Amino acid sequence: MPYETAIHLLDKGAVMAECGPMRLVISSFIGKIAQREMNVKAAKVSFGIFERTARFQDLLRAVHESVPRDLEEPVAAKMISSVISMGEPDLTPMAAVAGTIADSVADFLFDAGMTRVIVNNGGDIAIRLKEGASVAVGIRDDLRKESFSHVLSLDSIEPSWGIATSGLGGRSLTRGIASAACIIARDASVADAAATVVGNAACVEDESLIRRDAVEMDPYTDLGRMKVTESIGELSEEKKQEAIRRGMKRARELMERKMIFGAFLSVQGRVEMTGFFRERMNC
């Protein structure tokens, strides 16, 4: 089906690309010069990427173990690959959709000669940096708040970065109780899937915890009748720490497998982060 599309011009040469439910903010530079014309081209490219991926949505909403591995559409194939790498059989490829689309648009710009690229797909961010380039990324310790609590500095030691955040109050449903589970990886596709996994793992039982079938909270969800978190009351410090311990345990497993660089996890104001974030964070 055709989707309504729009391109909005933003400050500093950035553009917003809208296609159906997708909202991409695209920025690119050569040196310090913003490249609005290229950003508009990338926005048009993003529409094609979204529409091609949408053709496979019925397959991509199924648990990855039942999805064919030989899809010819590269974005769909990357979504499947990223989710498989998490090692969780009940995860669907949709857990990586936003990050994978952001990566594809960022790669288009980087391959076209941009030296600094930032593509933000609803908080799942793909960054590409040529030698000498750097970027500062705002991090929120609570997805329900608009303001940033921390700023993460990234440079061109890696040409490609991906950052994604999951948790209560985010765009997607979660089985955990994290206020924010932020992951950094080599690309946004893997970061997106990993943030979902770590956010789900950050959970404890509590009498104030309310769970509902996912489909009751979002009739279009890929999670069906899986139980997800609707809300939770104020936790004891011990329970906050236990939720963080469980989430960070899962994050460190992914780090040991070289899937992600690091994790930042917050539960009701209590924060823990791995060394990667500590070394590059400004509060």
Mean pLDDT by runs of 10 across the 283 residues of the chain is 90 97 97 98 98 87 63 88 92 94 99 99 98 97 95 98 94 91 99 98 93 77 76 95 98 98 98 98 81
Q: What is the pLDDT of residue 67?
A: 62
What is the pLDDT at residue 23?
97
Which pLDDT value is given to residue 61? 78
Contact at 8 Å (CB) between 101 and 53? Answer: yes
Res 134: pLDDT: 98
Q: What is the pLDDT of residue 213?
A: 80
Residue 62: per-residue pLDDT: 72
| CA-based nearest residue to 159, from 133, 136, 120 | 133
Burial code of 255-272, b = ≥16 C-beta within 10 A, e = fewer? Answer: beeebbbbbbbbbbebbb
Domain residue spans of the chain = 5-282
Please check whether residue 134 is in contact with residue 153, taking contact to mean a CB–CB distance below 8 angstroms: yes
Answer yes or no: are the C-beta atoms of 60 and 77 closer than 8 Å: no
Tokens 């490219």 belong to 45
Report which residue type is found at 267.
V
CATH topology of domain 5-282: T-fold (3.10.520)
- Of the candidates 28, 72, 61, 34, which has an alpha carbon nearest to the alpha carbon of residue 46? 28
Residue 244: its pLDDT value, please?
Answer: 98
Residues 36 and 26: beta-carbon distance below 8 Å = no
The pLDDT, as a whole number, for residue 212 is: 82
What pLDDT, on the 0 to 100 scale, is given for residue 274? 98
Is 0.85 topped by the overall pTM?
yes
Q: Rounded CA gap, 236 and 245, in Å?
A: 14
Position 225 scores a pLDDT of 73
225: which residues sit within 8 A by CB, 6+ positions away? 213, 214, 215
pLDDT value, residue 223 = 67
CB atoms closer than 10 angstroms to residue 116: 23
**Residue 237's pLDDT is what?**
97
Give dist(CA 189, CA 127) in Å, integer. Answer: 12
**Per-residue pLDDT, 271:** 98
